[in-house]
């Protein structure tokens, strides 16, 4: 696991410099009650996607607060990740998906294997997303408090997929969702809302000089035209084809380049297939750049692209949260996001960004931002203020401490 180094300062000192001492002292006071307690996070992958990104930065912060944070990843055959990707799509509302009896059994059996690998025995065991959800069924003597943390939009799930996890949810001490509206199918005494967060000091979000950012980007894309950028997995829910359609409308009126950046994660077998679809749809347009970690794009490169872009897009048609929205807003870049899910937690339409419902509206807002640099700056400033107030990692940890307090009672 990679630990982020923040120059010579501690993580908390860096936050105190950013936010002032009062919120840091308040956090320390809450954490003091849990000094020496153990917290275990379990998920499916250490690379790719928002969960891994959050955890690699959250664990060091918890440890600095005196809480023994740990993070474990289970292993599974590729066939299991095909099933879990189907489940992700089904829980987000794809009603056409059906699971065979073998797939259902394989999903449950992996829960037993995951338990045998991890053997959770911490004071607080936080199980992330559907992949390891059944693990709790295999505990004979449940140790500590158990929390299921769902990062996806389950407001209108495929009934079969929901049935595959619902029996296990009642065994958990608490369920955590990004938005409580995602939990309406869950029958549980304790449902808690905790939105995700970004780490402002990570390689992806730390301040870098604009000139340095331009140098990094120019290794991949020329900067003689304005850049419109979407950073996300290659995934149908992120609507990359709709992004290309919006770009084509814009290009008829203004010279512009489109950059689509995504990472290919071990637990996302659909990603390679969608990367090919996106490249085919781009039709060799020399002003569309499609990049991934396979091209040498890492966190610092994403940071640079977001900083030099004139517009950040996250044109999702379903979105649990959308960390890339927070990333763009933190960097004071105007963000246009799909009018869905967790994006609506972050963007206040017309105040710190724009929410859109169609390709045409997306194109219209891109053109508006490009034509109005003063308004673009105002949106960017308001966006950073929103993220600073609500969606930094330190606030995320505080929400967990509040939940631990509630469970301890």
Residue 189: band (very low, low, confident or very high) from pLDDT cuts 50, 70, 90: confident
Residue 141 buriedness (CB in 10 A; 0-12 / 13-18 / 19+): exposed
Q: What is the mean pLDDT of residues 105-123?
A: 96
Packed helices 373-390 and 323-330: angle between N→C axes, nearest 10 degrees: 120
Q: What is the pLDDT of residues 82-94, one digit of tens each?
A: 999 999 999 999 9
Cβ atoms within 10 Å of 394's Cβ, excluding its own: 22
- Spell out the CATH class of 11-197+393-408: alpha beta
Give the 3-state secondary structure of residue 174: strand
Q: Could you give the percent of the chain with pLDDT greater than 90?
A: 90
Q: What is the pLDDT of residue 263?
A: 83
Residue 259 has pLDDT above 80, yes or no: yes
Residue 284: band (very low, low, confident or very high) from pLDDT cuts 50, 70, 90: confident
What string of H, E and C letters represents the secondary structure of 218-272? CCCCCCCCCEEEEECCCCHHHCHHHHHHHHHHHHCCCCCEEEEEECCCCCCCHHH
Taking the C-alpha atoms of residue 239 and residue 249, their distance in angstroms, rounded to an integer, is 16
Residue 8 has pLDDT above 80, yes or no: no
Which CATH topology does 210-390 take? Rossmann fold (3.40.50)
**Residue 24, C-beta contacts closer than 8 angstroms, at least 6 positions apart:** 12, 15, 16, 394
Taking the C-alpha atoms of residue 72 and residue 44, their distance in angstroms, rounded to an integer, is 9
Q: Could you give the percent of the chain with pLDDT greater than 70?
A: 97
Q: What is the pLDDT of residue 267?
A: 60
**What is the value of pTM for the model shown?**
0.93
Residues 155 and 133 sit within 8 Å (Cβ to Cβ): no
Q: What is the pLDDT of residue 151?
A: 96
Q: What is the pLDDT of residues 228-248, one digit of tens each?
A: 999 999 999 999 999 999 999
- Please indicate whether the domains covering 11-197+393-408 and 210-390 agree at the CATH topology level: yes
Q: What is the pLDDT of residues 335-391, one digit of tens each?
A: 999 999 999 999 999 999 999 999 999 999 999 999 999 999 999 999 999 999 999
Phi, psi (deg, nearest 5) at residue 192: -130, 140
Residue 266 has pLDDT above 80, yes or no: no
Q: What is the mean pLDDT of residues 104-117?
A: 97
**Average per-residue pLDDT in the chain?**
94
Q: What is the mean pLDDT of residues 168-195?
A: 95
Q: Say how many Å lie between the first and final Cα of the chain, rounded.
A: 33
Q: What is the mean pLDDT of residues 168-175?
A: 96
Residue 46: band (very low, low, confident or very high) from pLDDT cuts 50, 70, 90: confident
Q: What is the pLDDT of residue 341?
A: 96
Domain parsing of the chain, residue ranges = 11-197+393-408, 210-390
Q: What is the pLDDT of residue 269?
A: 72
Q: What is the pLDDT of residue 204?
A: 96
Joined together, the tokens standing for residue 368 give 């508006």
Residue 4 has pLDDT above 70, yes or no: no
């Amino acid at each position: 696991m990679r630990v982020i180094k923040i120059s010579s300062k501690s993580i908390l000192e860096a936050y105190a410099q950013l936010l002032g001492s009062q919120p840091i002292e308040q956090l320390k006071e809450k954490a003091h009650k849990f000094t020496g307690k153990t917290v275990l996070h379990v998920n499916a992958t250490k690379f790719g996607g928002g969960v891994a990104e959050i955890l690699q930065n959250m664990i060091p912060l918890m440890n600095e607060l005196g809480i023994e944070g740990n993070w474990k990843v289970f292993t599974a055959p590729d066939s299991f990740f095909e099933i879990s990707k189907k489940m992700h799509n089904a829980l987000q509302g794809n009603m056409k998906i059906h699971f065979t009896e073998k797939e259902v059994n394989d999903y449950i059996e992996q829960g037993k294997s995951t338990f045998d690998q991890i053997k959770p025995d911490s004071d607080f065991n936080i199980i992330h997303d559907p992949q390891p959800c059944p693990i709790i069924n295999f505990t004979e003597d449940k140790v500590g408090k158990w929390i299921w943390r769902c990062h996806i939009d389950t407001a209108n799930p495929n009934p079969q997929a929901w049935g595959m996890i619902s029996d296990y949810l009642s065994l958990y001490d608490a369920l955590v969702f990004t938005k409580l509206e995602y939990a309406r199918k869950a029958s549980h005494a304790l449902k808690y809302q905790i939105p995700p967060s970004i780490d402002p000091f990570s390689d992806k979000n730390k301040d870098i000089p604009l000139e340095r950012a331009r140098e990094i980007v120019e290794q991949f894309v020329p900067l003689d035209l304005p850049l419109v950028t979407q950073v996300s997995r290659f995934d149908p829910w992120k609507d990359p084809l709709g992004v290309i359609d919006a770009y084509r409308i814009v290009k008829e009126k203004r010279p512009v380049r489109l950059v689509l950046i995504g990472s290919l994660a071990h637990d996302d077998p659909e990603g390679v297939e969608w990367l090919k679809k996106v490249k085919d749809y781009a039709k060799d347009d020399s002003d569309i750049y499609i990049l991934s970690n396979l091209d040498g794009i890492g966190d610092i490169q994403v940071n640079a692209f977001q900083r030099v872009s004139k517009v950040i897009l996250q044109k999702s048609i379903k979105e649990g949260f959308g960390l890339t929205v927070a990333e763009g807003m933190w960097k004071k870049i105007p963000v246009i996001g799909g009018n869905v899910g967790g994006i609506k937690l972050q963007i206040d339409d017309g105040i710190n960004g724009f929410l859109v419902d169609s390709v045409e509206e997306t194109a219209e807002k891109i053109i508006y931002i490009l034509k109005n640099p003063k308004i673009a700056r105002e949106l960017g400033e308001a966006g950073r203020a929103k993220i600073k107030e609500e969606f930094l990692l330190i606030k995320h940890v505080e929400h967990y401490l509040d939940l631990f307090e509630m469970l301890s009672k």
